[in-house]
Amino acid sequence: MDTTKTADPTAPEADAAEDKPDTGTPAEPEAPTDAPAPATDASDAVADEEPEDLDEADTFPERPTGVGSAASAVTAAGLGLVALSGSWVARVIGERQTLIGQIESANATTAKEKIAALYGDAWHMTALVNGLLSALALLLAAVVLAAPAFGAPGRAHPTWVRSVSWAAVALGVLGVLLFALMYFDLLVPLPTASE
């Protein structure tokens, strides 16, 4: 039995394609095998659909801006500075107390009582009001500095907010000490009639 195959005269020869001369036309590049498969219309439709039950607040939670802490720090520093330089409120209350002292000095019998009525009470009221402003500045600055410890973890204030808060603490402590000494006549005692 003859097992040799004879070539089919109608079939193109395999070697004929290799023997053909190059005509100069570039061959088409082969498609890369690792290219992603084109998306079907069904997957495009699913990707374009957004869930209706998601809220924008859920997808993008609002981050705290720290504006309140910054404003509180600046306010505390301003209060401490105003208290040390003398506030308008303290001056008005001091002048009112001076007027009350002038009225009361008519009934005063000694020079010490007249000095205390005319000047001492007004000075004490001025020191009291400015001391309260200093204490308020100190309290507000302390709250700003302590806020990150009670807030969300990793919520630290910017450096300038902490710096302004520490400046407000320093001004507040200085004001409280200064006006307490003035209120109790330890720093600047009232003059006496002999002077």
Whole-model pTM above 0.75?
Answer: no
pLDDT tens, residue by residue, 15-49: 554 555 555 555 555 655 555 555 555 555 545 55
pLDDT at residue 31, rounded to an integer:
54
d(CA 118, CA 109): 13
Domain ranges of the chain: 70-183
Q: DSSP class of residue 153?
A: T
pLDDT for 10 beyond 90: no
Beta carbons of 77 and 164 less than 8 angstroms apart: yes
pLDDT at residue 126, rounded to an integer:
94
Q: What angle do CA 74, 93, 113 make, to 5 degrees?
A: 135
pLDDT for 171 beyond 80: yes
Beta carbons of 77 and 137 less than 8 angstroms apart: yes
Burial of 121 (0-12, 13-18, 19+ CB in 10 A): middle
pLDDT at residue 194, rounded to an integer:
64
Beta carbons of 169 and 138 less than 8 angstroms apart: yes
Residues near 119 by Cβ (< 8 Å), separated by ≥ 6?
Answer: 98, 101, 190
pLDDT tens, residue by residue, 45-73: 545 555 555 455 555 555 556 788 899 99
Q: How confident is the model at residue 93 (pLDDT cuts 50, 70, 90)?
A: very high
pLDDT at residue 89, rounded to an integer:
94
pLDDT tens, residue by residue, 107-148: 888 888 888 888 999 999 999 999 999 999 999 999 999 988
Whose CA is closest to 178, among 79, 76, 80? 80
